Structure 1
Amino acid sequence: MKILLIGEYSRLHNSLKEGLVVLGHEVILLSSGDHFKKFDSDYSFHSSFLASYWLPRKLKNLIHILIGIDLEKFERGLRFYLLLPQLNNFDHVQLINSDAIETFPFLSRFLYKKIFKKIKNRSLLICGDETPVIDYLLKKESDYSILTPYFKDDSLKKHFEYPLKYTTKNYRKTFDWLVKNCQNLIASDLDYKIPMEKMGYSVHFIPNPVNTRKIEFQEQKMNDKIVIFLGINRSSYIKKGISYFEKALKIIQEKYAEKLAVIITENLPYTDYINLYNSAQIVLDQIYADDQGYNALEAMAKGKVVFTGGGKKFMDHYNLKEQININALPNVDSLVNELSFLIENPESIVAIGKRARAFIEKEHEYISIASQYLEAWDLKTIS
């Protein structure tokens, strides 16, 4: 079977592709590489001309300041359009989200229509910001969410342009059109499953695929110092609650100066990011979550203790009795207490790391997850 995957924000589609290939299918992945992260892709629609050269970049920035139009969106749409003649004879297409091509909504719809004329079996993945997800978060029914900082201080609105764009007329029109023209909506974790269902949508829940053959488990060894890693993506700094981690780290560094080392990075390509956190025993991922994002899952697969979503909803859903990560709350004192316990009880780092790996192997193993996708797409019997 021949499968087309469009878009990549986290390595989800790359890992899914790897699982599908093991199962004997041909898979082509198209993406922009997600800017500085530079994820692998078979064909790229990255805006390389406007993003890579000094003069075009300066002109692009000037036009954006003067009239508010992002020409990189146009370049990505154009590059995708030029790839269309190569996209033939696919059995299924899956979009990473409704803005998978990262272009203007009207141009997205035009390009999706071109693709959908060729491919009749289609699915839309909900694995990040999306129209019903943001609609639900705006209702303020959860204890906290990625929009909490915005609710507390609406002067931060410009930092939330990306999630809030999905509630505007044109992005909403694109999402609604996709719902009518895709056979499946698939949610990748509880942070998207719960809002989608609360907003009345029926979704297949399929956890993120993690390539456990490629990611080697490393039993944590306690050396002279415990290493804590914080990787910052500046564009999501506020909505991931990174300032809580920074404040907690300042206290912890003063309290345990002789016992730990801290690595902080910012806006690194994916491969560099992974190489830098390999030496860490503890990874600080994100606040404001019920479940784990992709970086957290990969770190857990390596046996690291990850501060991320892991509260009651998550524990109940997977029927867990022991911690497989640390539930990162938007509370500095809580983070300091959790970090202090780990530093003073290093054997707990080893134990949680082992349970984390076992959890990933049970719930996120990439070949098993690929099979679940085939079943959701109703393509398991097609070869």
Structure 2
Amino acid sequence: MKILLVGEYNASHFTLKEGLTHLGHEVTVVGFGDGFKNRKVDVKFKRPYDHGVRQFVRRVLYKLFKIDLNSSSIKKQFYSQQQLFQGNDIVQLINENAFGTLPNIEQELLQFIFQHNKNVFLLSCGTDHLSVKYAMDEKFRYSIATPYLEKRGTEADFLHMTQYIRPAYEALHNFIAKNVKGIIASDLDYHIPLEGHPKYLGMVPNPVNLNPFNYIAPEITDKVVIFHGINNSNYYKKGNDIFEAALALVSKTHSDKIEITTVRSVPYAEYIQLFDGCHILLDQVFAYDQGFNALEAMAKGKVVFTGAEQEFLDYYNLEEDEVAINALPDAQAIANKLIWLIDNPDKIVAIAKNARSFIEKEHNHILASQRYFEKWTK
């Protein structure tokens, strides 16, 4: 089949492509490479007004006239390659704002796709209207909305999330939901808000191509190495402030037993190499399940502090701390878990081994591709 995957978060679509290609399908990924991460795509769209003077001009024009130069540029890029968006057997959108344009332009581009492709599906991956509304209504015990509701940071820090509950984005959500054949979730943080939706087809766990990720059995001969990768634009959303507070607590009592490495907003190719030497990786706090960075670290044999809530344990029939550490929104709780691992290095070895086995069993990209194809064609 001819399959088009629109948009990219980390490597979810490109990894899916690798699995689908293995199964004999013709697959193209169109996207932006997920910003500074510079992830691989087949056809790369650009946002030319995101930096320097051009960004300043874009902001002024938008403030004065509600004209967004990036949206206009992306629209031109779309129509210059409109043949990509026609005659596909399957099209999947990475989320409700796959092109990252203003809602009215996004709807225009999607209308073209709906008119020229019979089977269009939506992947709930990253923030969208339903998941953000569910979080803002405080239906989760904690969520990506928690730091916003607790007034950490500024309004601008959370705009990438709160925009999805504005009327224009809600209208875009309704338009997409009406026109897609079905909706698939990539993990439990998106699965839970979608339960009961008439077009929800179920969850397919994020695909991970294990080939590039060699398992590195942890060897602890001296200090326990802790890696903390920070995305500056998602600092509060990911709970990086809580991780930093937890590390400060641990350093008070165990500074002689640990080595902390912190990096900020580095491209993916650099990031994936930087944490090779660590034993523990701090990923994110406000989640019930793991995202791509956590999964890839687990594949390499790292003990990851991430989303591993009871719902996750129940879904996969796991025990607490079996494959990952659930990072609660509590610096002292995280510090206590870190100290437990530092004082019991055998636990690091056991969890790392379990983590790799879990990724092999549940996230293998060939298996995930088969699951996607079954849902698309069912």
TM-score category of the 2 structures, normalised to the smaller one: over 0.9
Measured in 2, the distance between the counterparts of 1:152 and 1:306 equals 25
SS of structure 2 residue aligned to 1:77: helix
CA-based RMSD of the aligned residues comes to 1.8
The residue aligned with 2:226 is 228
**Correspondent of 2:119 among 118, 121, 129:** 121
Q: Go from structure 1 to structure 2 and tell me whether the alpha carbon gap of 1:199 and 1:137 turns closer, same or farther (over 3 Å shift).
A: farther
Tell me the alpha carbon deviations over residues 18-72 of structure 1, each in whole angstroms, 9 at most, x when there is no partner.
100111111100001122111111111111x3346x5434433443565565422
Aligned length: 377
The residue aligned with 1:19 is 19
SS of structure 2 residue aligned to 1:231: strand
Answer whether contact 2:71 2:105 (CA < 8 A) is retained.
no
The residue aligned with 2:258 is 260
SS of structure 2 residue aligned to 1:258: helix
1:191 matched to 2:189: yes
SS of structure 1 residue aligned to 2:200: coil
Measured in 2, the distance between the counterparts of 1:202 and 1:116 equals 18
Answer whether contact 1:132 1:199 (CA < 8 A) is retained.
no
The residue aligned with 2:203 is 205
SS of structure 2 residue aligned to 1:280: coil
Q: Which segment drifts farther, 87-96 or 305-314?
A: 87-96
Measured in 1, the distance between the counterparts of 2:298 and 2:275 equals 12
Alignment of 1:335-350 (within 5 A): 335-350=334-349
The residue aligned with 1:273 is 271
Answer whether contact 1:193 1:203 (CA < 8 A) is retained.
no
Amino acid at match of 2:255: A
Measured in 2, the distance between the counterparts of 1:362 and 1:121 equals 29
Q: Which segment drifts farther, 350-359 or 231-240?
A: 231-240
User: Structure 2: which 5+ residue stretches go unaligned?
Assistant: none
TM-score by length of 1: 0.93
**Correspondent of 2:315 among 298, 314, 317:** 317
SS of structure 1 residue aligned to 2:256: coil
Measured in 2, the distance between the counterparts of 1:142 and 1:284 equals 22
Q: Go from structure 1 to structure 2 and tell me whether the alpha carbon gap of 1:233 and 1:67 turns closer, same or farther (over 3 Å shift).
A: farther
Measured in 2, the distance between the counterparts of 1:308 and 1:369 equals 21
Q: Which segment drifts farther, 364-373 or 177-186?
A: 177-186
1:238 matched to 2:240: no
Give 1:75 shift: 1.9
SS of structure 2 residue aligned to 1:315: helix
TM-score by length of 2: 0.95
SS of structure 1 residue aligned to 2:334: helix
Alignment of 1:137-216 (within 5 A): 137-153=135-151, 156-197=154-195, 202-216=200-214
The residue aligned with 1:30 is 30
Give 1:174 shift: 1.3
**Correspondent of 1:308 among 299, 306, 309:** 306
Answer whether contact 1:208 1:364 (CA < 8 A) is retained.
yes
Give 1:281 shift: 0.9
Measured in 2, the distance between the counterparts of 1:154 and 1:265 equals 21
